[in-house]
Amino acid sequence: MAQLPMPARYTSSHRQPAQSVLRRENSKRSFLIAWSGPKPPGLKTLPRKYGGRGGYPHGILSSMPSPADVADRSHMQRALDLARQTAGLASPNPQVGCVLVRENPTDRAADQVLGEGAHRYDERDHAEIAALKQAAANGHDVRGATAYVTLEPCAHHGRTGPCADALLAAGIRRCVVATTDPNPLVSGTGLARLHAAGVEVDLGPGSDEARSLNLPFAHFIQHGRPFVTLKAAVSVDGYLAPPPAARALRQPHWLTGPAARAEVHSLRHASDALLTGIGTVLADDPALTDRSGLPRRRPLLRVILDPHLRLPPASQLLRDAQTSTSASDLLLLCAESAPLANQHTLHTAAAGRIEILRLPASPSGRLSLPPVLALLAERNCLSLLLEAGSALNSAFLHEDLVDRIVLFFSPTELGAGSIPFSAAGPSAYVLQQRLHQRRTASVGADMMITGLLHDPWPALS
């Protein structure tokens, strides 16, 4: 019986060689997408949108999850929860979780968890190694166990040895993986190594969430610049803020409620850097800090684009800098022509706890954005949260440098003459219609709409 060619990214099964299958799952259904031997009866052709590709026999088997599928998803969900808890602690590496399980073949609801772990950059161990160590510390033998990992185990030497080899050495029988490694140079090699050594490999449960968690990593590894999320609070009639004459000077104007503002702190917590323009600083006098209360391994880098060094020495950013314990979390980017005297004044006002760098600018003084992103990439910033006003929203969108959008629509009406979402670009309404993987959620009295302009993952699946 002819065997199907085995793309490294799909499921392998050594249990039934005569019925070797390639299986892929998404969050809703389990698909058999190819099989050897006679076509199982009753199968429909797998639609292209579910991953069907010409050249293979494709089929969809059943939409009813089996107890084994339910157990797989539950263990993968736990691995994803562990990965999620490492926001702010894993970058510049991906967020990854792993759970080691002794399957109970007669009752999968009674599977035994042997060890679990997640990757934290400062602790070096990848999630698989952390889980193996926890299992050993608890006196569990993991031979014959199943590993649930949210990202393909690595097969190369980096800061640590290959995790695929560690799983093999530990005697893992089966490995369930949410998604492949987004690095095109190594994608599939970990799965191939496990498969070649006789481990049963399943790919796909939890893939949507695993990919969503690691959008910045997937983007950075391919493009070498940060994944940019544009976040804005927008009035129901599409404005960012009231006109300057209608508001108090240098005070934030809160459009959204406390629940939406808490979401913003989660976004800041999950970001390596935050960027705004001097227009926003002059209008709002913001602190721009991560006040999520959650631990992070490096401070949120706050970046201000201030071509002419107009930042007031009495601004909150500089007052906070005087008492800051970090010397490296406030970065002011100005034009090469910015007055030197202002630079000295700002350094003094911040008690030296500010970095001021000069970058290329247009004749009108607008900073060139690609060098800004290149500078952040050099500092290993994988994710950048853009929290700016209309001028910078417009500039980033115009240069197609925004990858994800998070909009908080408030029920408040601001009225004509207010500050537009984007000075010369699309309105917030038009923009949200362009999003892929668009999601809508109520957050207190506000409506949150998120979605992607660029998805770094699909080309890899």
Ligand X SMILES: NC(=O)c1ccc[n+]([C@@H]2O[C@H](COP(=O)([O-])OP(=O)(O)OC[C@H]3O[C@@H](n4cnc5c(N)ncnc54)[C@H](OP(=O)(O)O)[C@@H]3O)[C@@H](O)[C@H]2O)c1
- Minimum CB distance to ligand X, residue 343 (Å): 14
Is residue 273 at the binding interface for ligand X, with CB under 6 A as the rule?
no
Is 399 noted as a catalytic residue in this protein? no
The verdict on 419 binding ligand X (CB under 6 A) reads yes
User: Contacting ligand X (CB under 6 A), which of 332, 392, 397, 447?
Assistant: 392
Segments in 124-251 forming alpha helices (H): 127-137, 163-170, 189-196, 207-213, 215-223
> Catalytic one among 128, 152, 209, 263?
128
The string of DSSP codes covering 98-124 is EEEEE--TT-GGG-EEEEEEE--GGG-
- The residue whose two tokens read 């006040």 is 291
Interface with ligand X (CB under 6 A), residue from 59, 115, 279, 456: 279
Of 142, 209, 200, nearest to 175 by C-alpha is 200
Tokens 């700016």 appear where?
388
Handedness of CA 271, 276, 280, 285 (dihedral sign): positive
For 154, other C-beta atoms within 10 Å of its C-beta total: 23
For position 280 contacting ligand X by CB under 6 A, the verdict is yes
- Nearest CB to ligand X, comparing residues 146 and 276: 276
Q: How far apart are CA 123 and CA 139, in angstroms?
A: 22
Least distance from C-beta 292 to ligand X, angstroms?
Answer: 18
415 binds ligand X (CB under 6 A): no
Instruction: Return the SS3 of 193.
Output: helix
Q: Considering only residues 22, 303, 359, 391, which one is a binding residue for ligand X as defined by CB under 6 A?
A: 391
Residues 34, 388, 406, 449: which binds ligand X (CB under 6 A)? 388
Q: Please return the burial class of 143, using the count of CB atoms within 10 Å of its CB with bins 0-12, 13-18 and 19+.
A: exposed
155: contact with ligand X by CB under 6 A: no
Strands 200-203 and 174-177 come out as parallel
Among 140, 156, 310, 358, binds ligand X (CB under 6 A): 310
Q: At 57, list the tokens.
A: 């026999």
Pattern 337-366, ligand X, x by CB under 6 A: ----------------------------xx
Residue in 8, 233, 359, 448 binding ligand X, rule: CB under 6 A: 233
Q: Smallest distance, Å, CB 401 to ligand X? A: 10
Residue 190 interacting with ligand X (CB under 6 A): no
Annotated catalytic residues are 128
User: Interface with ligand X by CB under 6 A: which residues?
Assistant: 232-233, 240-241, 253, 255, 276-280, 283-284, 305, 307-308, 310, 365-367, 369, 387-392, 395, 419
